[in-house]
Amino acid sequence: MTAPKNVAVFVGSLRTGSYSRRLALALAKIAPPALTLEIVEIGDLPLYNQDLDANPPAAWVALKERIGKADAVLFVTPEYNRSVPGVLKNAIDAGSRPYGHNAWDGKPGAVISISPGAIGGFGANHHLRQSLVFLNVPAMPQPEAYIGGGANLVDDQGDFANPSTRDFMTKFLNAFAAWIDRFAPARQGLRSAKMR
């Protein structure tokens, strides 16, 4: 039996009880056997500063090591001012630098945006996808996940409050598992090349 793929989950909100974190934890509970979802904490990362590339803070090094161990990455984010929250952009920058040492390179990814409003964080979702193109993260194109009504999405037990939302998220995770499998041979080849 094949071991489950390790998915590093990056939550774009630091707020205690944020809709993004509640969604990420609920997703971990319903993940298919092919996936293991684990939140990577990014709130204490020092702000990216190119002056520190030669002697990076330990937190940046640990972040890049954690990304390196992941088979895939999942971003669950709110929308701030029609874009990605600064804490998430900082993690993306810290993981991608210095130039030529991009820890995100080739990792299959997926994006979920969540909002209390009806638009579901559409702007943040697509701004994030722009960065992922540059980072060479193949982001799953379908199904798209713009989740509105975030305040009522997850109940007090950490489960999806609505069966239709749970069904959609199950479909999303199954599609993501298949997406990750599409890139497994390429990832294995990349690992082998780096070990030589």
How far is Cα 26 from Cα 155, in angstroms, rounded to an integer?
Answer: 9
pLDDT of amino acid 195: 34
pLDDT in tens, 21-38: 999 999 999 999 999 999
Token pair of 180, please?
């990750």
The structural domain count of the chain equals 1
Mutual orientation of helices 86-96 and 58-69 as an angle, nearest 10°?
80
By CB neighbour count within 10 A (0-12 exposed, 13-18 middle, 19+ buried), where does 32 fall? middle
How far is Cα 83 from Cα 79, in angstroms, rounded to an integer?
Answer: 5
Q: How many CA atoms lie within 13 A of 171 on its CB side?
A: 10
pLDDT of amino acid 185: 61
* Strand arrangement of the beta sheet that strand 146-147 belongs to: 35-39, 5-11, 72-77, 109-114, 146-147
Q: How confident is the model at residue 188 (pLDDT cuts 50, 70, 90)?
A: low
Token pair of 163, please?
């069966």
Q: Which domain holds residue 26?
A: 5-195
Q: How confident is the model at residue 193 (pLDDT cuts 50, 70, 90)?
A: very low
CATH number for position 100: 3.40.50.360
Q: Quick check: 58 pLDDT over 80? A: yes
